[in-house]
Amino acid sequence: MATLSQRFQIWLSGNPDDAVLRMIFRLLIVGTVAVLAYDLAGPESGGAQRETSPLSLPSLPEVLSPWLPDGDRLTPLPQPGGALGKPMTFELLSGGRLQANGTITPGSAEAFGKELARHAEYIKTVVLNSPGGSVSDALAIGRMIREHKLATEVEAGKYCASSCPLVLFGGTERRVGAKAAVGVHQVFAVNAGETAASPPRDQMSDAQRISARCQRYLSEMGIDLEVWIRAMETPKDRLFVFKPEELTKYRIVTAETSAPKS
């Protein structure tokens, strides 16, 4: 049985312009083969490399910034690495600034209290760069900040998420720099130290109790409770990042970020 190509060749032989048609036919075949070869080869065979930029903390604020893409406001919760993945540390900077960098762990509030005891007269602003962590410690740090009438700040391009905004809310003045990521999600109870012999915990009750503490805290700090609604609507493995105008609307910020004092 003649193939489609052979039939086409027979048809060409009976036409006066068969030479031109043969040329067109061959060009079509060559073009089709070239396209198929490119598609099968993919980017690994010299084609244009597809960008694969996994979530990484150095570029995190740009990945999370909700004012870049419109639409879905929720982003997968990134897993912090490097310094942000380690327990929070504190470093004195110039201009009365205390840098708080890293994950808020049980004991972070105690460490912060010791810094205040040593340098209370010097510290004026707590500068935050943290993926969050222990809610109880974040609340305690925030209350100490308010008690000492300190300011809080998230510098341009830095990161304050999960329970970290609770610390930010403690500032009598609160500043957030350009393209800094301030985000929230649901609180949840961690079964630390629970064993098979331990009595079962009511995780729903724990979460509701923590939620009530946080709502009361936001009210005391002068933060719009819409912030907490946003948090409760966001699954714990996602992050709701506030747009710049929302930072002002919900009273998360009270002032523009100022340049560091020398």
* Pair type for strands 181-184 and 238-241: antiparallel
Residue in the structure block whose two tokens are 């629970």? 194
For 91, the enclosing helix (H) or strand (E) is: strand 89-93
User: pLDDT at residue 60 above 70?
Assistant: no
Q: What is the mean pLDDT of residues 204-208?
A: 81
For 154, the enclosing helix (H) or strand (E) is: strand 151-154
Contact 124, 258 (CB under 8 A): no
pLDDT, tens only, 85-122: 899 999 999 999 999 999 999 999 999 999 999 999 99
Contact 218, 227 (CB under 8 A): yes
Measured in degrees and rounded to the nearest 5, phi and psi for residue 183 equal -140, 155
Query: Domains of the chain, with CATH numbers?
Result: 60-187+203-249 (3.90.226.10)
Of the pLDDT bands very low, low, confident and very high (cuts 50, 70, 90), residue 187 is: confident
Joined together, the tokens standing for residue 77 give 């919760």
Which of 66, 63, 36 shows the shortest CA–CA distance to 241? 66
Joined together, the tokens standing for residue 66 give 């909700």
Reported for 104-108, long-range contacts at CB under 8 A and 24+ positions apart, including other chains, are 104/130, 104/132, 104/133, 104/134, 104/137, 104/138, 104/141, 104/163, 104/164, 104/167, 105/133, 105/134, 105/137, 106/134, 106/136, 106/137, 107/137, 108/133, 108/134, 108/137, 108/141
Q: What is the mean pLDDT of residues 130-154?
A: 97
Residue in the structure block whose two tokens are 């470093």? 91
Q: What is the mean pLDDT of residues 173-193?
A: 82
Q: What is the model's pLDDT at position 129?
A: 96
Q: What is the model's pLDDT at position 68?
A: 34
Mean per-residue pLDDT of the chain: 75
Contact 242, 213 (CB under 8 A): no
More confident residue, 66 or 144: 144
